[in-house]
Amino acid sequence: MTTTTQAATAERPISSVAARVERPQPPSALSASLTLGWRSVLKIRRIPEQLFDVTFQPVIFIVMFVYLFGGAVSGSTTQYLQFVLPGILVQTVVMASLYTGISLNTDIGKGIFDRFRSLPIWRPSALVGALLADSIRYVVAAVVCLGVGMAMGFRPDGTVLDVFAAVVLVLVFAFSLSWIFAFLGLVMRSAGAVQGVSMLAMFPLTFASNVFVDPSTMPGWLRAWVDVNPVSHLVTAVRGLMAGSPDAGDISWSLIGCAVLIAVFAPLTVRAYRRRS
């Protein structure tokens, strides 16, 4: 054993291990969150398959819905595209926010979270960092949807600024919604369970809305839900912005929805995160 030890010493330059490096002031909450967000971005870069649901999936949805239902619903595929694209944009980004919970659930069991928790940083920064990095996925989803839509003939009547505002509104909504899934990701035992429950919530939110069809032909009880569904308000707001006729009412409703989601779920999520150790 002694010989091995000596051999190892001889090969290793010991200099910098023993030299004392003083600990600086711990980073601010923002800086720690951004650093941890950077970690998630690096992970996306390393495993680009994570982007499937925000790249191929919306393409398939747009192509399928437009050519499958376009003629039947609106009489022509071009007209339906004009109607459905903002809806699919919202649906894709909202669906993408579900992934937050699943990835958090898998990530948090790993040893690296122990290390984060043993550091003198603002506790929720790992959480906030992950949510911020997910915004990048939402941007990718939005760009893909708009790109494919435009290629197929979608033409927004609004200005570039209107379209931009519409995309930002969707991103803000997805960020707010991702707190719910982050919460589920923290309180549920397995990633599979998170996926199951989230999906269950996802269907009434996205399909029972005005994403795909005008709700005027729906039965009363369903319309009642569609009318209060925050996703419907968001879709109407986005349609308005893209058509160049923004509706202040729907935009405000969407933003209020965001504020409520964050006000309720951010504290719950942070509490669940603190407990989970």
Partner 1 sequence: MTALAIEAHGLVKTFGENRAVDGVDLAVGAGTVYGVLGPNGAGKTTTVRMLTTLLRPDGGSARVLGHDVVDDADQVRRLIGLTGQYASVDEDLTGTENLVLQSRLVGLSRTRSRQRAAELLESFDLTDAANRPVKHFSGGMRRRIDLAASIVVTPDVLFLDEPTTGLDPRSRGQVWDIVRDLVAGGTTVLLTTQYLDEADQLADRIAVIDRGTVIAEGTSADLKASVGRSSLHLRLADEAQSDLAERLVAQTLDTTPHRTPEAGVITAPVADPDVVADLMIRLRAEGVRIDEIGVQRPSLDEVFLTLTGHAADDDTERTAA
| Interacting residues with partner 1 (CB under 8 A) | 1, 4-5, 7-9, 11-27, 31-32, 35-36, 38-39, 42-43, 46-47, 110-112, 114-121, 277
Type of residue numbered 27: P
Tell the smallest beta-carbon distance from residue 33 to partner 1 (Å): 11
Give me the least distance between CB of 102 and partner 1, in Å please. 16
Closest CB 39 distance from partner 1, rounded Å? 6
Q: What is the sign, positive or negative, of the torsion defined by CA atoms of 206, 207, 208, 210? A: positive
- Give the pair of three-digit tokens for residue 185: 């990701």
Shortest CB 100 distance to partner 1, Å:
17
Q: How far apart are CA 101 and CA 269, in angstroms?
A: 11
CB of 3 vs partner 1, minimal distance in Å: 9
Nearest 5°: phi and psi at 227? -70, -30
Instruction: Indicate the DSSP class of residue 264.
Output: H
* C-beta closer to partner 1: residue 91 or 103: 103
Q: Please report, in angstroms and rounded to a whole number, the separation of the first and last CA atoms in the chain.
A: 38
Which C-beta is closer to partner 1: that of 89 or that of 130? Answer: 130
Is-contact 70 123, C-beta < 8 A? no
**Degrees (nearest 5) of the Cα angle 257, 193, 123?**
60
Nearer to partner 1, 4 or 216 (CB): 4
Give dist(CA 86, CA 88) in Å, integer.
6
Nearer to partner 1, 104 or 234 (CB): 104
CA quadruple 141, 142, 143, 145: dihedral sign:
positive
Q: Kindly tell me which of 15 and 217 has the beta carbon lying closer to partner 1.
A: 15
- Residue 52 CB, shortest distance to partner 1, in Å, is 17
Residue identified by tokens 């937050």 is 100
CB nearer to partner 1: pick between 155 and 271: 271
